[in-house]
Amino acid sequence: MIVRYYCIVALFLISSLNCYEGNATNVFDIRDEQHIIIKYTVVAVFSFFLLYGIISNLLMATVCYSRNNLYSRPFILIVSQIIISNLISFIPYMTVLLPEILLSKKYGNFENNMDQSLIMHNLCLFIFCHATLFICVDVESLRSHSSTEIQCISRIIKAVLLISSKLFIKFWAIFLSITMLAMYSAIIRNIRRRFASINNETQKKYGMNTLGITKYERSMLIQAALTSGGLIIGAISFSFLSKVLIKIFDQKALLPINISHCLYIILYRCTLSTAFFLTNECARKYLCLRLRNNVVKPISQVQQNKLPEEVKPIPKKKITGVHEEL
């Protein structure tokens, strides 16, 4: 039963990665001459957090696939799926968004290029997950490319859902967050029930495993809160509050809203790795040990081999003439 829960949670976590990217950068006009400082600041911030997300996810993968880990095989499968999804989601930002902001001087074809980045993102996730789910979620970006098959699919989906795709995305994001929180609570309840049935002798014998599972439960609770809370906050803030801010501040609020929206999408993919290293002391110790063994020792060996000949100690000569005369 626990393995089934893990697989269902993995499906919901992976499918939630595409909920907010439809309207992330539709109007992102910061490349004119009046916004040069803002442009390079945004590029620097985006590059920093993209690098942080890639490195943190790769480090989490190395820790989870180590030999002396406390996590079970289903949890490692979930983590690996989420890491792959996060790395795939970073591709449009590195290949389309940042080069387009730096190289283009006019707004021009920016919207079309972002549609191409969304199509590429959806194609990667199409290979990784289910096709029908992502066609339902991202109908708006697929509609920009005039194709008869895509138009037929979008019409069928609209006829079945009987609501607009934007409204469907909002309710779908909230539904995913609630479902993931419920599935996490079910997993934790089964884990506690399993360890409550163990007698005192077994607990004394396997005390270290019990402590490890306690940290495991705590980290999963924090990850569930971050994941579900992030989805709910994103769905509410960027769908309802953005309209209110535009009505109050007119079009001036559109630029900071879009910047914060893109930054939120990038940071959301770093929450799992950040929570993993903050709540798991064994992972931090293992990572420090690997860095010392793989980085510090080779550097020290190279320095010892490159010592100059003058510094090397001179062998002592035996003095025999004085003793013979005495």
The pLDDT, as a whole number, for residue 326 is 42
**Sites in the chain below the pLDDT cut of 70:** 1-35, 68-75, 78, 104-232, 234-235, 238-239, 295-326
The pLDDT, as a whole number, for residue 275 is 78
The pLDDT, as a whole number, for residue 145 is 36
Under a CB-based contact definition with an 8 Å cutoff, are residues 7 and 74 in contact? yes
Instruction: List pLDDT tens digits, range 248-285.
Output: 877 777 777 777 777 777 887 787 788 778 877 777 88
Q: Rounded distance, CA 167 to CA 149, Å?
A: 23
Instruction: List pLDDT tens digits, range 148-201.
Output: 334 444 444 444 444 455 566 566 666 666 666 666 666 666 656 655 555 454
The pLDDT, as a whole number, for residue 105 is 59
The pLDDT, as a whole number, for residue 278 is 80
b/e sequence 41-70, b meaning 16+ C-beta within 10 Å: ebbeebeebbeebbebbebbbebbeeeebb
In 3D, which of 193, 284, 275 has the Cα closest to residue 227?
A: 275
In 3D, which of 139, 136, 124, 115 has the Cα closest to residue 25?
A: 115
Give the distance, in angstroms, between the CA of residue 222 and the centroid of all CA atoms in the same chain: 15
Under a CB-based contact definition with an 8 Å cutoff, are residues 209 and 162 in contact? no
Q: Rounded distance, CA 90 to CA 121, Å?
A: 9
Length in residues, the chain:
326
Collapsed DSSP state (helix, strand, coil) of residue 77: helix
The pLDDT, as a whole number, for residue 300 is 54
Eight-class DSSP state of 94: I
In 3D, which of 41, 143, 21 has the Cα closest to residue 93?
A: 21
Q: Rounded distance, CA 80 to CA 74, Å?
A: 10
Q: Rounded distance, CA 220 to CA 82, Å?
A: 14
State the SS3 of 168-198: HHHHHHHHHHHHHHHHHHHHHHHHHHHHHCC
b/e sequence 180-208, b meaning 16+ C-beta within 10 Å: bbebbebbbeebeeebeeeeeeeeeeeee
The pLDDT, as a whole number, for residue 134 is 36
